[in-house]
Amino acid sequence: MHRYTVGIGVGVLAIVCFWVGWGKTQEKRDGQDRLNGFMQLKLDHAKGILEGLSNEDFNAISQNAQGLATLSLESSWNAYTTPEYLALSTDFRRAVRMMTEAASEKNLDRAALAYVNTTVQCIECHRYMRHAKR
More confident residue, 68 or 39: 68
91 pLDDT more than 60: yes
Q: At residue 21, what is the residue type?
A: G
**Cβ-contact 10, 51 below 8 angstroms:** no
Per-residue CA distances from 106 to 6, 40, 53, 60, 111 (Å): 16, 27, 11, 12, 8
pLDDT tens track for 19-34: 555 544 444 555 555 5
Domain boundaries, the chain: 56-134
**Predicted confidence band of residue 14 (pLDDT cuts 50, 70, 90):** low
